[in-house]
């Protein structure tokens, strides 16, 4: 048995010298040291050896296995180094090829609009605030004079977390929080994400809103119109005409919607503006006295106005984008345009 081990050792060492690649080396290792290899077969013969000679046989076989394993590892390292040198010799890098230019990113069009509006309202003295996106119904609806029977409070129009907790449907709740913490006069805007269960070319479940509020002793409808005209003309250009139309909102009285002249047809009427020559951009009005009473402000002494607009809509009109979903799909072809 020991003679078989000795011959096996000599044969393996001689064969290793002639192995020329990693595949041949692996095949040889399996043949010798694998579960059904020659060395394993000899080891199984230990049961036929006399008990007094098993210790010596075990010692010799362990030493032989260690030697063979070391030789296989040594040959493996040699073949790997040889293969590496051959690759270095045969593979070349053409250093004359032009380098790959890194793509330069830019601000998202929506981010540009937000930054521009923040600069405009800051210059006009408005305080910019934001608050929780998970809101209580008392701030999102109740304090804004929106009754429980109002359609906007239905499950189909609002994401409720609990009966009195929801994902805010408008940033107007920050107007209530702001008025509760401060005494007039003041002016503020709130900019942030809001949530409604809609998804089509003009609606997404998450979008951005800006709400504005100005409260004081001498704030009039004329102030309200002048400030909003100034904001809109700074966004779209002085040459764009604007108009106000009567409307209804529970938290303002009187209320109005504001339109801007269509940038495509310049008021002549086209498919974009549905032949009217105008595009609606925001809702606004004088703050309802009930809202002021609810936050502890005397409506006999103070009055003011509020307005709200969707930032995606402003961006779409400003850059000629026709699908709201493009803002959130992260398509590089769309983003590269800006």
User: Residue 5: CB partners within 8 Å, gap ≥ 6?
Assistant: 42, 60, 61, 64
Tens digits of residue pLDDT in 8-61: 777 777 787 778 788 887 887 877 777 777 777 777 666 666 666 667 767 777
Number of domain units in the chain? 2
Question: Rounded to whole angstroms, what are the CA distances from 337 to 120, 311, 331?
Answer: 24, 19, 11
Do residues 67 and 211 both lie within one domain?
Answer: no
User: Residue 149: CB partners within 8 Å, gap ≥ 6?
Assistant: none
Do residues 147 and 278 both lie within one domain?
Answer: yes
Which helix (H) or strand (E) segment is 11 a member of? helix 2-18
Q: How confident is the model at residue 115 (pLDDT cuts 50, 70, 90)?
A: very high
Where is the binding site, in residues? Answer: 253
pLDDT average, residue stretch 316-331 = 82
**Cα gap 278→272, rounded to integer Å:** 9
Residue 101 lies in a domain: no
Do residues 83 and 167 both lie within one domain?
Answer: no
pLDDT at 180: 92
Residue where a domain stops, chosen among 31, 61, 91: 91
Do residues 157 and 78 both lie within one domain?
Answer: no
Do residues 132 and 82 both lie within one domain?
Answer: no
pLDDT average, residue stretch 92-105 = 79
**Cα gap 62→37, rounded to integer Å:** 15
pLDDT at 320: 78
Do residues 31 and 137 both lie within one domain?
Answer: no
**Cα gap 114→27, rounded to integer Å:** 67
- Please provide the average confidence, as pLDDT, over all residues in the chain: 85
Take residue 49 and report the two structure tokens written for it: 């050896």
Long-range contacts of 65-71 (CB under 8 A, 24+ apart): 65/33, 65/39, 67/9, 68/9, 68/12, 68/32, 68/33, 68/39, 69/33, 71/12, 71/13, 71/16
Q: Which residues pair with residue 249 across a beta bridge? A: 252
Do residues 163 and 215 both lie within one domain?
Answer: yes
Residue 291 lies in a domain: yes
Q: Which residues pair with residue 258 across a beta bridge? A: 244, 282
pLDDT at 46: 64
Residue 102 lies in a domain: no
Do residues 54 and 183 both lie within one domain?
Answer: no
Do residues 152 and 239 both lie within one domain?
Answer: yes
pLDDT at 48: 65
Measure the N-to-C terminal CA separation of the chain; round to a whole number of Å: 81
Provide the 8-state DSSP code for 25: H
**Cα gap 85→83, rounded to integer Å:** 5
**Cα gap 52→56, rounded to integer Å:** 8
Query: Measuring CA to CA, which residue among 82, 42, 45 is closest to residue 65?
Result: 42
Can you spell out the DSSP letters for 89-126? HH----TTSPP-PPPP----HHHHHHHHHHHHHHHTTP
Do residues 179 and 323 both lie within one domain?
Answer: yes
Q: Which CATH number does the domain housing residue 311 bear?
A: 3.30.930.10
Residue 195 lies in a domain: yes
Domain of residue 22 covers 1-91
Residue 104 lies in a domain: no
**Cα gap 319→311, rounded to integer Å:** 12
Residue 24 lies in a domain: yes
Where is the binding site for Mg(2+), in residues? Answer: 253
Residue 99 lies in a domain: no
Residue 140 lies in a domain: yes
Rg of the chain (C-alpha set): 39
Residue where a domain stops, chosen among 62, 91, 120: 91
Do residues 119 and 239 both lie within one domain?
Answer: yes
Tens digits of residue pLDDT in 137-179: 999 998 988 988 888 888 888 999 998 999 999 998 899 999 9
Query: Measuring CA to CA, which residue among 152, 286, 176, 168 is closest to residue 227?
Result: 286
Burial 245-260 (b: 16+ CB within 10 A, else e): eeeebbbbeebbbbbb
Do residues 48 and 128 both lie within one domain?
Answer: no
pLDDT at 1: 60
Take residue 330 and report the two structure tokens written for it: 């992260």
């Amino acid at each position: 048995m020991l003679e078989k081990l000795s011959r096996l050792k000599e044969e393996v060492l001689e064969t290793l010298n002639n192995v020329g690649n990693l595949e041949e080396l692996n095949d040889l290792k399996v043949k010798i040291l694998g579960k059904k290899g020659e060395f394993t077969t000899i080891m199984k013969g230990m049961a036929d050896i006399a008990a007094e000679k098993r210790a010596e046989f075990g010692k010799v076989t362990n030493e032989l296995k260690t030697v063979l394993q070391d030789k296989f590892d040594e040959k493996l390292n040699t073949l790997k180094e040889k293969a590496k040198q051959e690759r270095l010799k045969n593979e070349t890098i053409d250093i004359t090829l032009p380098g790959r230019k890194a793509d330069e990113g830019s601000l998202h069009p929506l981010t540009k609009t937000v930054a521009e509006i923040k600069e405009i309202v800051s210059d006009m003295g408005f305080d910019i605030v934001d608050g929780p996106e998970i809101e209580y119904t008392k701030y999102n609806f109740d304090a804004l004079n929106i009754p429980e029977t109002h359609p906007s409070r239905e499950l189909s129009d609002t994401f409720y977390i609990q009966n009195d907790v929801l994902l805010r449907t408008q940033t107007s709740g920050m107007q209530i929080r702001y008025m509760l913490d401060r005494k007039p006069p003041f002016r503020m805007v709130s900019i942030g994400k809001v949530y409604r269960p809609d998804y089509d070319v003009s609606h997404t479940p998450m979008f951005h809103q800006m709400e504005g509020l100005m409260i004081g002793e001498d704030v009039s409808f004329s102030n309200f119109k002048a400030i909003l005209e100034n904001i809109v003309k700074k966004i779209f250009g002085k040459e764009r005409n604007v108009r106000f139309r009567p409307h209804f909102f529970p938290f303002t009285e009187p209320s109005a919607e504001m339109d801007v002249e269509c940038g495509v047809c310049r008021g002549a009427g086209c498919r974009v503006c549905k032949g009217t020559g105008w595009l609606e951009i925001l809702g606004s009005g004088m703050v309802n006295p009930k809202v002021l009473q609810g936050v502890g402000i005397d409506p006999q002494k103070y009055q003011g106005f509020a307005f709200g607009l969707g930032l995606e809509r402003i961006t779409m009109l400003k850059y000629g984008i026709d699908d709201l979903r493009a803002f959130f799909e992260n398509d590089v072809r769309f983003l590269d345009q800006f």
